[in-house]
Structure 1
Amino acid sequence: MAADTSPTVRRRRLASELRRLRVERGLSMQEVAERMDLTAASVSRIETGRRGIRPRDLRAFLDMYEVPEADREPLMALSREARQRGWWQNYGDVLPGEYATLIGLEAEAISTRTYQQTLVPGLLQTADYARTLIAAGRLGDTPEEIERRVSVRMERQKRLADDSPLELSAVIGEGVVRQRVGTAEITVNQLKHLAEVSQWPNVMVQILPYRAGAHPAMTGSFSIVGFPAQSDLDVIYLENMSSGLYLEDSADVRRYVAVFDYLRAAALSPADTAVMLMNASNNLV
């Protein structure tokens, strides 16, 4: 799917507009829920983009908010585009909802800044490395399910090389370089791949060395997804073993951006990172 037609981002944008209209009318979620014969939780899910909205229901919302006819068509267009299918929805049988949302956000994003403490970022993994990780983390999956998950990861990486490539800045902990994943050959190829893609104009890879000491992200990895439109605020994505969490509050975003800037400043330069990657791969041969 083209980078400018992500249904996930369209739904998020529509949700933001509905939230803005409610606030401008001075209505609470509970008041809207009562007028629309919904629960307050349902209104919340609509306003955060976690639940889609049918055209008929959207028109009812717009009637309630007294939106002029001339201003309705852009919102109706967002609703139609939000119902389109992204390529990742063909993998719904093996794709958790939170991960599918991340891919949908990346489809229209202009940048991703990520700190990874224990793994190579998914956008930079080789197929063999990804396959080994997925097999280790999902012991109950069949070989076919594992291959479909690998396919998703490889398809996702195409955003780095399409007509409007995603700008990726990745800071990875030194432990990622030292950790063998699968065979020595798989690990060597992964390290060499990291060194190679770090030469791409839209990719920056930096290693945070052990000697950097304590830092504010020792509690875990995170990603910051950024968008070209000023109306689309950055999103923070946090992932754990079983699910993912999104933070969109402006204070949370500012905090994570400040932490990432700290990590980038404390990390090795891209040139020194490439040297460490090649040295680590040579030591495994």
Structure 2
Amino acid sequence: MRRRRLGNELRRRRTAAGLESRAAAEAMGWAESKYSRVENAKGRVTPQEVESLLKFFGVEDAQVVAALTNLARDASKRGWWRPYGDVVADSYRDLLDLEADADAEQFTGPAIPGLLQTSAYAREIIGATGLTRTQEEVHALAELRRARQAILTTRPGGLAPLKLWAVVHEAALHMTSAEQPHMMREQLRHLLDISDLPNVTIQVLDLRGTAHPGMIGLMEIVQFPAPWPTVVNLENLRGSHFVEGTEDVKVFEDAFARVVAAALSVDASRMKIRNIMNGLDT
């Protein structure tokens, strides 16, 4: 995923400079096929080579140069999730790669987002939606999901914790489990506790609320520091699909803003969660 983001940005900068890929290759002393592999995330490129390419493209913004050279440096870095092996689907690895570099994420969907799930709730959701998963894989993925949540409190390299804004439908808060009768009370308690974090915002879409774009399904909007563009993750039973590109992404950003407007306020959402947890919701 990092190589793909780097390749996309190099292509965008080259195009903005009015240059063909052949010219970029010649400037580097490469075959055009080698440069094409870099832009298509199939070839490696060093930070020094990225810096030379940007200079050829006329990019002088120090922030842009630093961002792209750093990404080239990190492109081959092994993710913390590697020990989980093949249980992690390619699309999920891509999402974890994105989150590692992101500074904010916005979520809306029919279930409580993975970054806010307890272990018991995660097992229940993964078991119900991972139709081809074995019991061992379900437990491994639930463990991975909990480990992923560390990004909300601590991050390597001095990065600030990820900012999360989650809008969850009230129906998700009423789910039950025959095998885990205390699951939802623990999950709701966890939502109240974690919403105390300054970087976590949780809103609830009331059962009696108005129609909104979030009714279409799950979407995660992953935002990055400049100059990196926002990426949208859409999920279904077969995995994830990523939406990139300014115009396409803006549709989802506008949709999320409408979902936020349709939801209860943060304080009213906390009260809703607390009342459901205590069995007092009316």
State the shift of 1:82 in Å: 0.4
Q: Separation in 2 of the partners of 1:245 and 1:217?
A: 17
Contact 1:55 1:76 in 2 (8 A): no
TM-score (norm 2): 0.80
Give RMSD over aligned pairs. Answer: 3.2
Secondary structure, counterpart of 2:270 in structure 1:
helix
Contact 1:208 1:267 in 2 (8 A): yes
Note if 1:183 corresponds to 2:180: yes
Secondary structure, counterpart of 2:166 in structure 1:
strand
> Cα deviations across residues 50-99 of structure 1 (Å, max 9, x unaligned)?
x342349x969x78x9679x99x976764342011111233231111111
Give the equivalent residue in structure 2 for 1:264: 260
Percentage of matched positions with identical amino acids: 34
* 1:114/1:77 CA distance change after superposition, 3 Å: closer
State the shift of 1:139 in Å: 4.4
- Among candidates 137, 156, 159, match of residue 129 of structure 2: 137
Contact 1:9 1:108 in 2 (8 A): no
Note if 1:198 corresponds to 2:195: yes
Q: Which runs of 5+ in 1 are unaligned?
A: 1-7
Give the equivalent residue in structure 2 for 1:225: 222
Contact 1:172 1:206 in 2 (8 A): yes
* 1:215/1:55 CA distance change after superposition, 3 Å: closer
> Cα deviations across residues 122-172 of structure 1 (Å, max 9, x unaligned)?
000000110111122234433332222112101110000015111111001
- Among candidates 74, 77, 88, match of residue 84 of structure 1: 77
Q: Which amino acid aligns with 1:251?
A: E
Give the equivalent residue in structure 1 for 2:239: 243
Note if 1:36 corresponds to 2:32: yes
- Among candidates 104, 125, 131, match of residue 111 of structure 1: 104
State the shift of 1:14 in Å: 4.5
Give the equivalent residue in structure 1 for 2:28: none
* 1:47/1:115 CA distance change after superposition, 3 Å: farther
Tell me how many residue pairs correspond in the alignment: 261
Q: Which runs of 5+ in 2 are unaligned?
A: 26-30
State the shift of 1:10 in Å: 6.1
- Among candidates 146, 156, 172, match of residue 154 of structure 1: 146
> Cα deviations across residues 24-45 of structure 1 (Å, max 9, x unaligned)?
344379xx9xx6348xxx95x8
Give the equivalent residue in structure 2 for 1:5: none
Q: Which amino acid aligns with 1:114?
A: F
